[in-house]
């Protein structure tokens, strides 16, 4: 059987497979929002497509009874978009019905459809960038890169792992066993890939596509139908995604209900009911630890993959070039106002200071240099607006206010920041607090948003121990270390491995602890409370389908 979509994108999937095995730099979708790559009108076209979505009903021809939606842009733009509201019984029935032919299709047919969806998502990167920007609060460049090509790369990575996994077992085998000196018996065995059922992808409010695509494409490629349940505050990016997926499915001859949208509002949430439905076989969740823990405990009938939250640490032991380090750290703290699950929260520095080049610098000098680097980064209004983006959730602003009352010394207070293009944008610069290692109750929990602690420790050994301990108890998605001493780096590496947290050593220049590159970086280890899965490995894929065999005597 020929699979034209697979053939069209064969080179892409083969390169992706190769990249997952080499884990060197590779990307299928260009991250530069350039007219030369995406077409000279792509930027305007994308913005106009986005604008046309506003103050309107988002059309999706899935079973629906009414509309729902209450998103608001952190940049102050009126969105006022209504999405189809679907009764769960109807939606799940439609999803299961669509799943039958999808699950029975040949692997290459499904993989081809997934690759075509990704290709079209890539062509819609500008529209999606605007949708991501005006729901999550990311600055445009980040919304384009993380919400567009980087998210598409993560989706492709999941398709590559799924394809690799499904073709690991042949579809047929002949098994011949000698049963006596003269006789043998031959069985023909058929191995069928059987999907688990309905997959549910639960999106988050900050990275709806980047965190949503891996589960979506992993479940889809392995033959499951998928119900996409976006965060009520960030529906649009995933609604566009669902719409594109349905177009491709329909054109390829499949029931478009293989992918459906389950939108809701925070006033009338549907996620708990949805994930407890017995028809649901797979759940991919990104979001708060509290709700993720609830899903892990209550959805025992399904395979559950979670990315929750944690407390990320950076250990500063000794550095060669203070400016290079503080500049890098400042960018990490400011990027998207600390609303990344990869942003460092706690920076541990020995109270007696550290070696900087040939000099000894006091704790306060180093802490002061970090504050100064943040101040410099935000000193240019346009740059500040782009780097900080906006605060997605008003509760994060309340958290900043509350942090002022913690009793920790405020090294740098958070302030509202103007955004020239969007005067109503909710923008607040990072707050940097100082405390001591003894005050664990302050920093040993997640304070989501632009709030960081610089913590004075007795020694680097204590810094490393605290970093590991927090990863073990609160979870951690990233860790950083700065040291000019190879022994310290190795100690930090071993501690991070034991605590199950990916470590970045001595980052300077334009590469940040916050970033995780598809095909190379494993995002979330799955080995501490910050999540039970990684993006992306075989464990993320292999349990989404089962192999059911049949055998017949040939002779």
Interface with its own copies by CB under 8 A: which residues?
Answer: 21-25, 165, 168-170, 173-177, 179, 185, 187, 189-192, 194, 196, 296-297, 300, 489, 493, 496-498, 500-511, 517, 520-522, 525-527, 534, 537-539, 542-543, 546-553
Nearer to its own copies, 270 or 303 (CB): 303
Residue 222 vs 414, nearer CB to its own copies: 222
Burial classification of residue 250, based on how many CB atoms lie within 10 Å of its CB (0-12 exposed, 13-18 middle, 19 or more buried) = middle
**225-229 and 198-202 beta bridge pairing:** parallel
Question: Taking the complex as a whole, how short is the minimal distance between the CB of residue 176 and its own copies, in angstroms?
Answer: 5
Q: Which is nearer to its own copies, 175 or 485 (CB)?
A: 175
Nearest of 280, 301, 298 to residue 290 by alpha carbon: 298
Of residues 117, 103, 101, the one with CA closest to residue 152: 117
Whether 72 and 266 have beta carbons less than 8 Å apart is answered as no
Min dist. Cβ of residue 97 to its own copies (A): 14
For residue 185, the minimal CB distance to its own copies (Å) is: 5
Least gap, CB of 407 to its own copies (angstroms): 33
Q: Which is nearer to its own copies, 197 or 230 (CB)?
A: 197
Q: How far is the CB of 113 from its own copies (least distance, A)?
A: 21
Dihedral sign, Cα of residue 269, residue 271, residue 273, residue 279: positive
Please say whether the beta carbons of 216 and 203 come within 8 A: no
Report the interhelical angle of 236-251 vs 107-123 (nearest 10°).
Answer: 130
Q: How far is the CB of 165 from its own copies (least distance, A)?
A: 6
The least CB distance from residue 498 to its own copies, in Å, is 7
- Helix, strand or coil for residue 315? strand
- Tokens linked to 489: 């780096």
Q: Is 475 left (phi over 0), alpha (psi -120 to 50) or beta?
A: left
Residue with tokens 């769960």: 88
Strands 318-319 and 313-316: unpaired
3-state helix, strand, coil in the chain (%, to 5): 45, 20, 35
Judged by CB, which is closer to its own copies: 71, or 165?
165
Nearer to its own copies, 245 or 319 (CB): 319
Closer to its own copies by Cβ: residue 36 or 177 = 177
């Amino acid at each position: 059987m020929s699979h034209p979509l697979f053939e069209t994108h064969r080179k892409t999937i083969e390169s992706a497979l190769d990249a997952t095995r080499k884990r060197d730099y590779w990307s299928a979708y260009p991250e530069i929002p350039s007219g030369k790559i995406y077409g000279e009108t792509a930027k305007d076209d994308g913005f106009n497509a986005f604008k046309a979505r506003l103050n309107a009903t988002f059309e999706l021809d899935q079973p629906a009874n009414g509309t729902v939606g209450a998103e608001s842009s952190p940049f102050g733009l009126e969105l006022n978009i209504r999405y189809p509201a679907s009764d769960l019984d109807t939606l799940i029935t439609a999803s299961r019905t669509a799943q039958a032919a999808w699950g029975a299709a040949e692997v290459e047919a499904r993989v081809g459809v997934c690759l075509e969806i990704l290709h079209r998502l890539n062509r819609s990167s500008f529209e999606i960038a605007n949708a991501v920007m005006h729901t999550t609060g990311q600055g445009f460049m980040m919304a384009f890169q993380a919400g567009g090509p980087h998210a598409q790369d993560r989706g492709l990575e999941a398709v590559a792992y799924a394809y690799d996994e499904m073709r690991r077992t042949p579809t047929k085998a002949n098994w011949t066993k000698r049963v006596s000196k003269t006789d043998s018996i031959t069985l023909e065995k058929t191995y069928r890939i059987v999907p688990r059922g309905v997959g549910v992808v639960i999106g988050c409010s900050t990275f709806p596509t980047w965190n949503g695509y891996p589960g979506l494409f992993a479940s889809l490629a392995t033959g499951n139908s998928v119900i996409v349940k976006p965060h009520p505050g960030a529906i649009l990016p995933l609604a566009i995604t669902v719409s594109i997926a349905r177009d491709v499915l329909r054109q390829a001859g499949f029931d478009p209900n293989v992918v459906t949208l389950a939108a809701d509002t925070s006033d009338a949430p549907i996620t708990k009911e949805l994930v407890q439905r017995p028809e649901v076989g797979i759940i991919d969740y990104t979001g708060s630890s509290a709700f993720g823990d609830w899903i892990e405990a209550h959805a025992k009938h399904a395979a559950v993959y979670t990315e929750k939250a944690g407390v990320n640490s950076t250990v500063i032991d000794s550095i060669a070039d203070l400016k290079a380090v503080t500049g890098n750290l400042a960018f990490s703290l400011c990027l998207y106002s600390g609303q990344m699950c990869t942003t460092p929260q706690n920076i541990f520095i020995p109270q007696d200071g550290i070696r900087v080049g040939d000099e000894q610098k006091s704790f306060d000098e180093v802490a002061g240099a970090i504050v100064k680097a943040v101040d410099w980064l935000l000193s240019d209004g346009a740059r500040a607006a782009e780097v900080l983006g906006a605060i997605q959730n008003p509760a994060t602003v309340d958290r900043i206010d509350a942090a002022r009352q913690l009793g920790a010394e405020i090294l740098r207070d958070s302030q509202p920041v103007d955004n020239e293009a969007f005067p109503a944008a909710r923008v607040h610069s990072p707050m940097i607090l100082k405390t001591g290692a003894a005050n664990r109750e302050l920093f040993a929990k997640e304070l989501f948003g632009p709030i960081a602690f610089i913590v004075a420790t007795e020694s680097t050994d204590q810094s490393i121990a605290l970093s590991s301990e927090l990863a073990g108890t609160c979870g951690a998605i990233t860790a950083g270390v700065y040291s000019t001493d190879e022994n310290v780096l190795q100690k930090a590496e071993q501690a991070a491995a034991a605590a199950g947290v990916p470590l970045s050593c001595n980052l300077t220049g334009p590469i940040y602890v916050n970033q995780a590159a598809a095909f190379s970086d494993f995002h979330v280890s799955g080995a501490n409370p910050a999540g039970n899965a990684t993006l992306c490995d075989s464990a993320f894929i292999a349990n989404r389908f089962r192999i059911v065999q049949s055998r017949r005597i040939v002779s």
